[in-house]
Amino acid sequence: MNVINVLYADPTTQTLETELLGVPVQVRAIPIQYHWDLGDGNTITTKKPGKPYPSEQVTATYTQEGWYDITLTTTFAGQFSVDGGEWQDIDGTIEIASDPVPLFSKSLESRLVNPDIPVDEEGDPWIPARTPDAEGHRDPAATHREL
Give domain status of residue 147, yes or no: no
Give domain status of residue 82, yes or no: yes
pLDDT interval class at 31 (50, 70, 90): very high
Instruction: Tell me if 16 sits within 8 A of 28, measured CB to CB.
Output: yes
Number of domains in the chain: 1
Instruction: Tell me if 49 sits within 8 A of 147, measured CB to CB.
Output: no
Task: Specify the pairing of strand 5-6 against strand 14-20.
Answer: unpaired
pLDDT over threshold 90, residue 48: yes
For the chain, the farthest-separated pair of C-alpha atoms sits apart, in whole angstroms, at 72
Give domain status of residue 26, yes or no: yes
Residue 121's alpha-carbon distances to 18, 95, 127, in angstroms, are: 48, 39, 13
pTM comes to 0.83
What would the pLDDT profile of 9-24 be if each residue is shown by its tens digit?
999 999 999 999 999 9
Which structural domain range is residue 57 located in? 5-140
What would the pLDDT profile of 59-68 be if each residue is shown by its tens digit?
999 988 899 9
Give domain status of residue 99, yes or no: yes
